[in-house]
Structure 1
Amino acid sequence: MQSNALYLHVYQKILEGIRSFEYDENSPLPAERVICEKYHVSRATVRRALDKLKAEGYIYTLPNNGSFVRPQVFEQPLTKFYSFTDELKNSNIVIYNHIVEYELIRIDHSLAKKLAYPQGAMFHKLVRLRSAKEYPLMLETTYLPHERFHTIDISFLENRGSLYEYLRNTYGFHMDRAVESFRPVNPNARERDLLKIPTTTPCMFLERFSYENHSIIEYTLSIVRGDKYSFTVNLTL
C-alpha cells in the first residue's frame, strides 16, 4: 500500500472511532506507538494521519500528553431570539430533556423584586437538564407565573418536549422580547455532577428575562458547558 494510502487508512480508522464514540470527547487517543503496532505502519505515517485529524478539528494535542478527541461545539447566533430546542432541531440534532425538579412555589422578596411581581406570588419552578446526543449541555432553571400558566404538563416536557412550543400551543404564549446576559461561572458540585464535567471545565451563566405585553412572563437561569456551546454575534457597520 502506498504511503499516502497508508496514512489516509489510519486517518479514516481513527475518525470512525471518534464518530462511533469508541473514543469519548476529551479522552486521549492511543499513543503513537500503539497506533503504529495496531495498523503496522511507521510513526511518520501515524503523525500524518494525526496532523490531518487535527487540521480538520477532530482532535487537539497537549504538549507531552498526546492527542485528545475535540468535543463537538454547538454554535448559537445571538442576533435573534432563539429556542434551544428549535435551533438544534434545525441542525438535525435531537434534544433530550430530563426534569430534575418541579414545584409550585411562592417567590421570596428577592425574586419578587427581580421579576416585578408581588412577594408570595405563585410561580412554577422547573429545573431541566438539556442534552444533545448523550452529552449534557446545560442545566436550566425556569420560573413561570402561575396566574398566566395554570398547569404545566411535565410529561410533555420530559425527553424531547419544547417548553416554548408547549406554552404557545396550550396558552397562546407570545413573547414580545427577551433580555439575556452572560458571565463566566464556576458551577457547584451538584451542577458539575449533573453536567458530567470535571472542575476544570469552564461554564457560562445565562440569565434571561422574557416579556409578554411588557410584563416578565418567563425567567430562566442556565449553567451552560463552555466546552460544548458557543454564542456568536455578527456585527456589521
Structure 2
Amino acid sequence: MKRREMEKDLPLPLYYKLRESIREKILKGEYPPGSKIPSEQELAQKYKVSRMTVIRAINDLVQEGLLYRKQGKGTFVSIPQVQQRLGKLTNFTQDMLSRNLKPDSIILNLELISPSFLIQEKLKINEGTKVWKLERLRLADESPMGLQTAYLPSDIFLYIDKEELGNGSLYEYLKKKYGIVFKRAEETYWVRMPNSYEAEKLKIGKNNPIFYVQRITFLTDEKPGEFVESILRGDRYQLYVELTT
C-alpha cells in the first residue's frame, strides 16, 4: 500500500494506516514469527512517509507485543505467547499440544540426591529420604520455553529410567509405571531476572524478565508427590485468571 492509497480512504493519521498495514502483514504471515521486518528507513521509503511516522507505528506494535526490537539488529515479529490459564492442573505436553505446538524436552540432569531442608519441607518427607532430581529444558516448536527442575520422593517413586522417560510427559510416565495420578497442585509465581545459566539455556538476554514458579503437586491422598521449580520465559508466557463474583 503506497501513500496515495493510504490517503484516499478515511482521513486517518498516516502512522495509524502504516501500523495497520504492518499488522495485516503479520497476521497474514507475510512477516512470520521471528522474522525481521524492513528497517525504519526502508519502510519510510516504501510508504513515502517520514521516519518519525514509521517509528510511531512501530512503537505502537512493540507496546502491543506484536513486534520487538533487538539493539543493533533491527525489529522482529514476536513469537505468539502461550496463555497460561491458572486454576487447572495440566502438564507442559498437554499445554503445548492444545495450542498446536510441538512439545519437546531435553533431560539436562537426572540423579538421586539428598534434598535440602526447603525440599524436605515442601515434600513433607523425613530426614534421610532421598529424592529424584530431574532437570529438563522444555521446548515448543524447537524454541526454548522454560527450565523445569522436579523433585520426587524416592519412597514413592523407587526408580526413574531416563531412557523410558525420554522427551515425553513425566506425568504420563509416572502413571504408566506406578499407576499414580496427581490430584491437584499449588503454585506460587514471582518475576525476576534470569541468572547467567538460565539466560544461556533459554537463549534470552540477562535483562529479559522470567517467571519463577514453585509448584507442589499432590497425590489423591493429599500427600505431596512432587515439588517443581520452573523458569519460564517472560516473553513467551502470559498469565490468565478468570474472576467471578
Once residues 165 and 94 of structure 1 are traced to their aligned partners in structure 2, the CA distance between those partners, rounded to angstroms, is 17
Secondary structure in 2 matching 1:18? coil
- Secondary structure of 1:165 counterpart: helix
Using the size of structure 1 for normalisation, the TM-score is 0.79
Q: Which amino acid aligns with 2:131?
A: F
Structure 1 residues 10 and 222: CA distance shift in structure 2, 3 A: closer
Report if aligned partners of 1:108, 1:120 keep a CA contact under 8 Å in 2.
Answer: no
Shift of residue 134, structure 1, vs aligned partner = 2.8
How far 1:216 moved relative to its partner?
0.8
Structure 2 partner of 1:154: 162
Shift of 1:138: 0.8
Answer yes or no: is 1:182 the counterpart of 2:189. yes
> Which residue of 1 is the match for residue 38 of structure 2?
30
Distance in 1 (CA, whole Å) between partners of 2:109 and 2:123 is: 21
- Residue 202 of structure 1, aligned match among 209, 220, 227: 209
Partner of 1:104: 112
Using a 3 Å threshold, how does the CA distance of structure 1 residues 146 and 70 change in structure 2: closer, same or farther?
same
Superposed CA offset, 1:80-126 (max 9, x none) = 21212102211211111011111111224443233211122121100
Q: Go from structure 1 to structure 2 and tell me whether the alpha carbon gap of 1:110 and 1:76 turns closer, same or farther (over 3 Å shift).
A: closer
Contact 2:103 2:138 in 1 (8 A): yes
Unmatched tracts of structure 2, length 5 or more: 7-17
Overall identity of the aligned pairs, in %: 32
Superposition TM-score, scaled by structure 2 size: 0.77
Residue-by-residue CA offset, 1:118-170 (whole Å, 9 max, x unaligned):
122121100001111132111100011122222223234433x0111111122
Corresponding residue number in structure 1 for 2:82: 74
Aligned length: 227
8 Å CA contact retained: 1:139, 1:191: yes
Equivalent residues in 2 for 1:99-178 (5 A)? 99-159=107-167, 161-178=168-185
1:211–1:218 Cα contact (<8 Å) kept: yes
Q: CA deviation at 1:187?
A: 1.9
Q: Runs of 5+ in structure 1 lacking a partner? A: 24-28
Q: Secondary structure at the match of 1:168?
A: helix
- CA distance, structure 1, for counterparts of residue 172 and residue 156 of structure 2: 16
